[in-house]
Chains A and B, each alone.
Chain A
Amino acid sequence: MKYNRREFLKMSGMAVVGVAVVPHLLQSCAAGVPESASATMNHFGVSAEDLKKVINTALEKGGEYADLFFEHTFYNSVTLRDNKVNSTYSNIDFGMGVRVVVGEQTGYAYVEEVTLEEMLKAAKTAARIASGNAKKGANNINVQEFKNYYPVQKSWEDITIQQKAPYLQKLNDRIFDLDHRVSKVIVSLSDTSSVVMFYNSEGEFFNDYRPMTTLSATCIMEQNGEIENGGASRAFMMGYEFLNDDIVEQLAQEAVKKTSILFTAIQPKGGEMPVVMGAGGSGILLHEAIGHAFEADFNRKNTSIFSDKLGKKICSEVINVVDDGTIPYNRGSVNIDDEGVLGQKTYIVKEGILNSYLHDRMSAKYYGLKSTGNGRRESFRHMPIPRMRATYMENGNVKEADMIADVKYGVYCDVFTNGQVQIGAGDFTFFVKSGYLIENGKFTQPIKDINIIGNGPQALADIVMVADNLSIDNGTWTCGKNGQSCPVTCGMPAALVSKLTVGGE
């Protein structure tokens, strides 16, 4: 579906404010609000005075801090099925949320009709979390400046299905061309354009334009009466420039390779054994085994298995683990988080020592630190909480081949689908779609469909080798926590874990 950029930006205000656009503009200018800020306020049909009124109402019961988060998201997807680009879906989501914080308590309410009356009602609801004397927010609007890690050359709002469809068709045709065993292909392209605006009781204001795009292919192959499925995807914070023949070819090759190998793969004999995590998607190990347990809300509440480990050695000194919101165009990047804290790169493990938790404003205040810019939310319907961005391990100095040669009997993990963790117990799992059995230092047999389970602190301590081939996996990683989904990525150089429990026959 096509909305040109001007229409998209107008759409929110079109019915919400109607005739009120000009008065709001005048009010904004009169208050000395910078032009870029007042343009975004107009987009949402609110004025600087409205924002201050809502904040002051949110603080009327004595809240210590309040913020307002506005969002207008336009999502499109187009799908090819049975060789035809034959279905499409579009969604418009629009609204704003009011959050009030007092200590470790949060009140939250959101509305879809962004009028002053509705916003004030929401503010009164959220305000009830506190019970004290009324406070006032700042009287200024301090526009936050930030670096743009995902500048868009050609925005999706200006692109029609006619322009997208040839790429889906090419990807479908290429997959069929690559292997005669391919019997079904589904290709899907989705794009999201979000305008967000934020204002808090400290006077901090920002607006951001957040693009997201995903291209994915699912492939079914048949051989001698057996059927296997596999797929490939890429996701970046980019505009239409994301689509090109190179990415189509990469996905076609990857989808066919990942599916065809499954016909010769087995579920191995299970039990405890060494596991070589291949470069790239193995970052799911970091995400599940330690990443979630380093999110500061769990540690603030003393419910993480790493709650007492800050500043302590938790693994080999060759290990450095980063959570990074600044990788250009990365699916997990944030120019500025959903609480107005700048995107940044955070060392969570430095030379084997637990260096930092991943903070939002609340936990940062609790620990007397600055937020690490991890306060993220799924949409205006949710309050922000600490979330990962792009989580990866930095390079070591071992060659992957030497690592494999060191394993007498174990498995090599290559392709993953999902993972999970129990934050307090520390038990984590990830599902291996495909990999290899290692016997006497060599790959002897492809393997598939096994779950691997371990305990976070122990698994981290059991990483005995780290290779020099770091790769970020740019697939469609989505993390779920407290009922909120959040786009992330992960990455890793190959690494040898001396012992994990591998599922199997």
Chain B
Amino acid sequence: MITNQHKELAQGAMQYALQNGCQACRVSIYSGTSSSFNYRDLLLEKLQQASESSMNIELFVDGRYGQYSTNRLKKEEIEKFITQGIAATRFLEKDEYRMLPDISLCYQGGGHDLQLYDKNINNISPDEKLQIAKSNVEEVYNSDDRIVSVNGGFSDGDSVGYMIQSNGFEAEKSSTWFSVSAGISMKGEGDARPSEGWWESSLYFNELKKSGLGKKAFERCLRKLGQKKVASGKYNMVVDYLNASRLLSPMLSALYGSSIQQKNSFLMDKMGEKVGSDKLTLIDDPHLIKTSGARYYDYEGVATKKRTIFEKGALNTFFLDTYNAKKLNMPQTISGPSTLIFELGNKNLEQLIQSQQKAILITGFNGGNQNSSTGNFSYGVEGFLIENGVMAQAINEMNITGNLIDLWKNLIEAGNDPRLSSSYRIPSLTFAEVNFSGV
């Protein structure tokens, strides 16, 4: 947890900045610990442990703005750093839009406990962590001649943060995380050694799924043996719940104030317009308990609240922090999403596959990018050709290409199967008529 020493250091830094030329100031202090253990086959391959702290100081000096961070948390050094920072900031040009948020927009406290911190984190023995990692390897080790290598990992950590601003805002937060993973590499065709994996994560150790990951990774690797590319053309595309957020991320990136203010967003003039089908409804719901991404305030201290990002395909929210909202002369919202909830359909992945006569299921992306100004995209993919409702052939080395608005307007069905451990709760999705390049 945040100690009084941390708080005093941050408060002292703010006072020092204000007494030495700053008109406003924000100081955040972070402290965290982490550990990780990885087995390769039956050998403990890596163990790593660390603890770290850092301070971030934002200085508003004579209408100018500078940001400074350090992990040297000694009072004298911080003060020297701030002195130098104030001098450096004064060399900049004025920027009238740089300021702290209006205090009325900031989180005022009083919210229910979001329950993001597992107090048992320090009671879990290294032996137990090691055993979790090893047991997932043992599930499949030596079970098939084609297995080249099996990995099992366990990692956990905690982080605590405290923020104070000269506008009167002060708050702290803390969270823990735990994750287990398994990976497998197998002999494929020719010299190929395809690999696959599986992972689980949770904010609470007791709620973490700790076994069965090795078997899951093996099944996923086994089914992709014999991959090949199929004919180019337009196919319906089912994207599994592990990968659907990859297609949503560039839509969200286009909503940030920094992109819109710099005219580098293909959605900048689309507020209120349809940019997806009726199946695209996305809500930012930041106050769910025991939920990844949950928070009461953003990096500026601005209070989070439930917002609809897309509603039946219509764009409803830009992510506008103080600086960009002022520059754009638009109402301030929030600097970014917390926990994203996609409106669900009523089929799981298997049922979405069964409902397709001929389509391609995407189970992994391999590189690619998008044009942030136009929304054009092109991504490498792997997965399965679906014929008559079943996965008929593993595919790889193919690309999908198109425009993100066109793609989302062609969303024909959302599944009901998001990973609840993720801050992006996006289910499997089916899109119509996507351009695939293969043979």
Say whether A associates with B.
Answer: yes
Indicate if the CB atoms of A227 and B374 lie closer than 8 Å.
yes
Indicate if the CB atoms of B232 and A90 lie closer than 8 Å.
no
Given A15-B74, A501-B399; A302-B193 close (CB under 8 Å): yes
A residues less than 8 Å from B212 (CB atoms): none
Indicate if the CB atoms of B229 and A420 lie closer than 8 Å.
no
Complex interface bits, B427-439 against A, C-beta within 8 A gives 1, otherwise 0: 0000000010111
Indicate if the CB atoms of B84 and A85 lie closer than 8 Å.
no
Indicate if the CB atoms of B50 and A449 lie closer than 8 Å.
no
Indicate if the CB atoms of A161 and B262 lie closer than 8 Å.
no
Stretch at the interface among A208-216, A306-314, A322-330, A389-397: A306-314
Taking CB atoms and an 8 Å cut-off, the chain B residues in 369-428 that contact chain A are 369-374, 376-380, 382, 396-402
Given A86-B93, A422-B195; A15-B373 close (CB under 8 Å): no
Indicate if the CB atoms of A418 and B399 lie closer than 8 Å.
no
Indicate if the CB atoms of B437 and A449 lie closer than 8 Å.
no
Stretch at the interface among A34-42, A249-257, A451-459: A451-459
Indicate if the CB atoms of B69 and A91 lie closer than 8 Å.
yes
A109 interfacial contact with B, CB 8 Å: yes
8 Å CB contact of A86 from B44, B77, B92, B401: B92
Complex interface bits, A432-458 against B, C-beta within 8 A gives 1, otherwise 0: 000000000000000011111111010
Complex interface bits, B186-201 against A, C-beta within 8 A gives 1, otherwise 0: 0010011111000000
A128 interfacial contact with B, CB 8 Å: yes
Taking CB atoms and an 8 Å cut-off, the chain A residues in 394-431 that contact chain B are 417-420, 422-431
B residues less than 8 Å from A307 (CB atoms): 191, 193
In whole angstroms, what is the CA distance A431 to B371 when docked?
11
Given A87-B66, A303-B148, A303-B195; A501-B398 close (CB under 8 Å): yes
Given A105-B45, A109-B49, A109-B50; A271-B191 close (CB under 8 Å): no
Q: Chain B nearest CB: distance from A224 CB in Å?
A: 13
Indicate if the CB atoms of A92 and B72 lie closer than 8 Å.
yes
B52 interfacial contact with A, CB 8 Å: yes
A147 interfacial contact with B, CB 8 Å: no
In whole angstroms, what is the CA distance A161 to B88 when docked?
7
Indicate if the CB atoms of B371 and A449 lie closer than 8 Å.
yes
In whole angstroms, what is the CA distance A105 to B38 when docked?
10
8 Å CB contact of B374 from A125, A305, A449: A449
A residues less than 8 Å from B85 (CB atoms): 1, 90
In whole angstroms, what is the CA distance A226 to B368 when docked?
23
Given A112-B52, A270-B401; A417-B188 close (CB under 8 Å): no
How many residues of A are in contact with the other chain, CB < 8 A?
95
Taking each of A11, A85, A106, A425, which has the highest tally of chain B beta carbons within 10 Å of its own beta carbon? A425
Complex interface bits, A72-99 against B, C-beta within 8 A gives 1, otherwise 0: 0000001001101111111111110000
Interface of A is mostly: strand
B119 interfacial contact with A, CB 8 Å: no
B residues less than 8 Å from A504 (CB atoms): 378, 399, 401, 435, 437
Indicate if the CB atoms of A429 and B148 lie closer than 8 Å.
no
With both beta carbons as reference points, the residue of chain A lying nearest to B224 in the complex is identified as A425
Indicate if the CB atoms of B401 and A450 lie closer than 8 Å.
yes
Indicate if the CB atoms of B378 and A184 lie closer than 8 Å.
no
B residues less than 8 Å from A184 (CB atoms): 262-264
Indicate if the CB atoms of A449 and B77 lie closer than 8 Å.
no
Given A108-B48, A301-B40; A267-B185 close (CB under 8 Å): no
Given A85-B93, A454-B397; A183-B263 close (CB under 8 Å): yes
A residues less than 8 Å from B227 (CB atoms): 425
Indicate if the CB atoms of B195 and A424 lie closer than 8 Å.
yes
With both beta carbons as reference points, the residue of chain B lying nearest to A107 in the complex is identified as B47
A304 interfacial contact with B, CB 8 Å: yes
Q: Chain B nearest CB: distance from A430 CB in Å?
A: 7
Indicate if the CB atoms of B397 and A451 lie closer than 8 Å.
no
A383 interfacial contact with B, CB 8 Å: yes
Complex interface bits, A360-389 against B, C-beta within 8 A gives 1, otherwise 0: 000000000000000000000101000000
Indicate if the CB atoms of A502 and B437 lie closer than 8 Å.
yes
In whole angstroms, what is the CA distance A222 to B262 when docked?
12
Indicate if the CB atoms of B262 and A92 lie closer than 8 Å.
no
B142 interfacial contact with A, CB 8 Å: no
B319 interfacial contact with A, CB 8 Å: no
Indicate if the CB atoms of A451 and B399 lie closer than 8 Å.
yes
A272 interfacial contact with B, CB 8 Å: yes
A3 interfacial contact with B, CB 8 Å: yes
Complex interface bits, A262-301 against B, C-beta within 8 A gives 1, otherwise 0: 0000010011100000000000000010000000000001
B residues less than 8 Å from A383 (CB atoms): 46, 48
A110 interfacial contact with B, CB 8 Å: yes
Taking CB atoms and an 8 Å cut-off, the chain A residues in 307-347 that contact chain B are 307-309
A486 interfacial contact with B, CB 8 Å: no
B residues less than 8 Å from A81 (CB atoms): 262
Taking each of A186, A229, A381, which has the highest tally of chain B beta carbons within 10 Å of its own beta carbon? A229
Q: Chain A nearest CB: distance from B365 CB in Å?
A: 9
A243 interfacial contact with B, CB 8 Å: no
Complex interface bits, A97-121 against B, C-beta within 8 A gives 1, otherwise 0: 0000001111111111000000000
8 Å CB contact of A457 from B126, B191, B232: B191
Complex interface bits, B96-112 against A, C-beta within 8 A gives 1, otherwise 0: 00100000000000000
8 Å CB contact of B435 from A222, A308, A505: A505
A14 interfacial contact with B, CB 8 Å: yes
Indicate if the CB atoms of A424 and B47 lie closer than 8 Å.
no
Indicate if the CB atoms of A420 and B366 lie closer than 8 Å.
yes
Taking each of B84, B148, B232, B367, which has the highest tally of chain A beta carbons within 10 Å of its own beta carbon? B367
B94 interfacial contact with A, CB 8 Å: yes
Complex interface bits, A464-505 against B, C-beta within 8 A gives 1, otherwise 0: 000000000000000000000000000000000000011111
Indicate if the CB atoms of B367 and A220 lie closer than 8 Å.
no
Taking CB atoms and an 8 Å cut-off, the chain A residues in 124-147 that contact chain B are 125-126, 128-129
In whole angstroms, what is the CA distance A186 to B420 when docked?
39
Q: Chain B nearest CB: distance from A377 CB in Å?
A: 12
In whole angstroms, what is the CA distance A2 to B194 when docked?
50
8 Å CB contact of B380 from A89, A111, A220, A429: A429
B residues less than 8 Å from A110 (CB atoms): 50, 52
In whole angstroms, what is the CA distance A271 to B378 when docked?
13
Indicate if the CB atoms of A501 and B437 lie closer than 8 Å.
yes
In whole angstroms, what is the CA distance A449 to B373 when docked?
11
Indicate if the CB atoms of A104 and B84 lie closer than 8 Å.
no
A29 interfacial contact with B, CB 8 Å: no
In whole angstroms, what is the CA distance A422 to B46 when docked?
22
Indicate if the CB atoms of A305 and B71 lie closer than 8 Å.
no
With both beta carbons as reference points, the residue of chain B lying nearest to A87 in the complex is identified as B65
Indicate if the CB atoms of A503 and B92 lie closer than 8 Å.
no
A/B interface sample: 26 pairs, CB < 8 A: A1-B88, A15-B77, A84-B94, A85-B93, A86-B98, A87-B67, A88-B92, A89-B68, A125-B47, A129-B46, A184-B263, A218-B264, A220-B262, A267-B376, A267-B401, A271-B439, A422-B366, A424-B148, A424-B194, A426-B191, A429-B367, A431-B369, A449-B377, A503-B399, A503-B400, A504-B399
Q: Which A-B residue pairs are the 6 nearest by beta carbons?
A: A270-B437, A429-B367, A503-B399, A420-B367, A424-B193, A503-B378
Chain A interfacial positions (CB closer than 8 Å to B) = 1-3, 11-12, 14-16, 78, 81-82, 84-95, 103-112, 125-126, 128-129, 160-162, 165, 183-184, 186, 218, 220, 222, 226-229, 267, 270-272, 288, 301-309, 381, 383, 417-420, 422-431, 448-455, 457, 501-505
Query: 18 extra interchain contacts, Cβ-Cβ under 8 A, other than A220-B262, A501-B439?
Result: A15-B77, A78-B92, A88-B66, A107-B48, A109-B50, A126-B47, A160-B91, A161-B88, A220-B263, A220-B264, A267-B378, A302-B185, A422-B195, A425-B193, A429-B399, A448-B371, A451-B379, A504-B435
